[in-house]
Amino acid sequence: MPRIRFTANIQRHVPCPEREVRGETVREVLEDYFSQNQRARGYVLDDQGSLRTHMLIFLNGETIRDRVRLSDAVQGDATLDVMQALSGG
Amino acid sequence: MGHLLHIATRKGVFAVERAANGRGWSITGASFLGDNCSMVLRDPRDGVLYAALGHGHFGVKLHRSRDGGSNWEEITAPQYPPMPEGYEPKKHPFFGTPIAWKLELIWCLEPGGASQPGRLWCGTLPGGLFRSDDGGTTWELNRVLWDDPRREEWFGGGYPQPGIHSVCLHPKHPDHLSLGISCGGVWHTTDAGKTWKQHEGGMRAEYMPPEQAFEPNSQDPHRLVRCADHPEVMWVQHHNGIFRSTDGGMNWVESLNVKPANFGFAVAAHPHNPDVAWFVPGIKDEKRIPVDGKLVVTRTRDGGKTFDQLTNGLPQQHAYDLVFRHALDVDESGDILAFGSTTGSLFISENGGEKWECISNYLPPIHAVRFAASR
């Protein structure tokens, strides 16, 4: 199963432990994670469900291409890292 | 007398209190240290404290405290609803970039009327007005205003996106609201947001072509306030001047020959005297520092015809403080004033601005200063 990890900086606002998740796209993987951690959603995604402007998601070390629909395909052994972009200060 | 202030800053929320033994004002509390707080509100109806945070990465958040700031809970921040299927966002009237449809900043928080427990109003960037009827637990976007085609003509003033920074309730008719919008002028509703009308005229925009200078929707009121005891009297510190209305904000008259400058962001209206208001000027829009490095509060006592320059206790050399739109407040008596600056200076006057005391020079950049009981 894919694994998802979160930046340490998000942890003081909302605990986001590393976890195995289900899904075949970045969207599905995130929704699976948020289904057990609703509050984390608003820290990663904006009102329209797109990745926040100053957030990044790395999929096996590469930044995802679709920040709006989050449609990048996720393989079963993938690792996702949800990080903050330095553009956000 | 207001004895408690809440300060929203770039790096936290602070409480400032006046000691009962007459030993003056001091900082007595701090919350969210290191976090950007755009607005703070202590609801005068129930004492609940609200703090709006803007995390650079993680978005806008809202927190609530029921014990004066000792303990906080995160509550749901206003959220823009899903964009309709197939909706094409309008383009910015000047730059052609899409107008945002998501929360970017909580710019103002105001309580509803005394007869409306739990009601809060929230003005935001990019221009949505939200209402809560349960003390901030849930929020709803005012769709009438958001869907008004004139709203899509608003443009940013100070930010790339337009925003609502002032929500002024009529003290006797709590469903009567007036909004200050940068840039979108002044808008009014008398039915809690079911219908809206713009101000009619009198404001002047130097930054527009002359033929469009009086267009209501192009005005940039930096701050809109109301005289509590004479609610038909409203004041605006505008991008290029000071304006006063005596008909509830429909028509405006500009103050001329304001010295040392007519540029600024903040205005505070005397709660009882409709002729008195205070401002903190800067040189002009492209020189946002005090004139000659002298920090000055201006006060009119004749409805904007003339202005006193109040300097006692304020630095008169090499002072480069700018006071943002929510960073000047007056208490319910009309005697105690406080303002905070971009350089982290906090000043308080207990005699209508005649003499000022510096409480701190070392706070973070100050966004908002509010007396606990002020409305």
Tens digit of pLDDT for each residue in A34-60? 999 999 999 999 999 999 999 999 999
| Contact (Cβ atoms closer than 8 angstroms) between residue B219 and residue B168 | no
- The number of C-alpha atoms within 13 Å of B298 and in the hemisphere containing its C-beta is 31
A84 to chain B, any CB pair closer than 8 A? The answer is: yes
For residue B101, the distance in angstroms to the closest alpha carbon of chain A comes to 8
A and B: number of Cβ contacts within 8 A: 45
pLDDT at B97: 82
Tens digit of pLDDT for each residue in B302-350? 999 999 999 999 999 999 999 999 999 999 999 999 999 999 999 999 9
| Cα pseudo-dihedral B286, B288, B294, B297, rounded to 10 | 120
SS3 B217: helix
What is the DSSP annotation of A69-82? T---B--TT-EEEE
Has the ipTM of the complex gone over 0.90? yes
Tens digit of pLDDT for each residue in B69-120? 999 999 999 999 999 888 887 787 777 888 899 999 999 999 999 999 999 9
For residue B56, the distance in angstroms to the closest alpha carbon of chain A comes to 5
What is the DSSP annotation of A18-62? -EE---SBHHHHHHHHHTT-HHHHHHHB-TTSSBPTTEEEEETTE
Which tokens hold the place of B212? 């469009």
A69 to chain B, any CB pair closer than 8 A? The answer is: no
pLDDT beyond 90 at B20: no
For residue B153, the distance in angstroms to the closest alpha carbon of chain A comes to 22
pLDDT at B22: 72
Cis peptide before B231 (omega within 30 of 0): no
Q: Taking residues B179-207, what's their average pLDDT?
A: 96
Apex B166 CA angle, B330 and B96, nearest 5: 145
With pLDDT > 70 as the criterion, what percentage of chain B qualifies?
99
**Residues in A touching B127 (Cβ below 8 Å):** none
A52 to chain B, any CB pair closer than 8 A? The answer is: yes
pLDDT tier at B375 (50, 70, 90 boundaries)? very low
pLDDT at B2: 54
Exposure string of B173-190, with b = 16+ CB inside 10 Å and e = fewer, is ebbbbbbbbbbbbbbbbb
pTM of the model: 0.95
Q: Taking residues A67-76, what's their average pLDDT?
A: 97
Q: Taking residues B10-29, what's their average pLDDT?
A: 92
Tens digit of pLDDT for each residue in B36-56? 999 999 999 999 999 999 999
CA-based radius of gyration for chain A: 12
Mutate to test the interface with A, among B57, B62, B122 (most CBs of A within 10 A): B57
DSSP H or E run through B4: strand B4-9
Rounded to the nearest integer, the mean pLDDT of chain B is 95
pLDDT beyond 50 at B1: no
| Contact (Cβ atoms closer than 8 angstroms) between residue B294 and residue B317 | yes
pLDDT at B113: 96
Cβ-defined contact of B82 to A48 (cutoff 8 Å)? yes
Cis peptide before B108 (omega within 30 of 0): no
Mutate to test the interface with A, among B58, B80, B97, B146 (most CBs of A within 10 A): B58
Cβ-defined contact of A13 to B58 (cutoff 8 Å)? yes
pLDDT at B37: 98
The CA–CA distances, whole Å, from A21 to A30, A32, A52, A62, B135 equal: 8, 6, 21, 19, 35
Q: Which residue has the higher pLDDT, B160 or B233?
A: B233
Q: How many residues does chain A have?
A: 89
Cβ-defined contact of B58 to A89 (cutoff 8 Å)? no
Task: Report the alpha-carbon distance of residue B111 to residue B130 in Å, rounded.
Answer: 12
Residues in B whose CB is inside 8 Å of some CB of A read 55-59, 61, 74, 77, 79-83, 101-103
